Amino acid sequence: MAAGVNIPSQLLDDVKIALNITWTDTFTDSRINGFIASGIAYLNEKLGSPASYLVAGEPRTLLMEYVRYARDEALDVFENNYRSRIIGAQNSKKVREYVEKALQTECGCNAEL
């Protein structure tokens, strides 16, 4: 688990709801926080850059599933089971980058969209 990462409390709460964790205790929160931090590091590496996990979308869905697999001690099968979704998220990112670059080239500007 990745230590020392500040996980937003709303993300922790959202993950706990997704996992049907209805209680609060220091051990469980610490464990889930570690899984979230580890999942964020893993997914950012797979996606090639930091993603937004606070809004609905594929990165958030993948993070929720990563944490579920981690909690259930099944990370050894996570990547195989979610490979197509990870590749889809990578492709979506590349398409967005290509479109942004094409638009910048077309207008002759370097401003970010």
Residue-wise pLDDT for 81-99, tens only, equals 999 999 999 999 899 889 9
Question: Is 108's pLDDT higher than 90?
Answer: no
Confidence of residue 113 (pLDDT cuts 50, 70, 90): very low
Q: Measured on CA atoms in the order 55, 20, 43, 7, is the torsion positive or negative?
A: positive
Token pair belonging to 99 = 């479109």
Residue-wise pLDDT for 35-64, tens only, equals 999 999 999 999 999 999 999 999 999 999
Q: What is the pTM of this model?
A: 0.84
The single-letter code of the amino acid at 45 is E
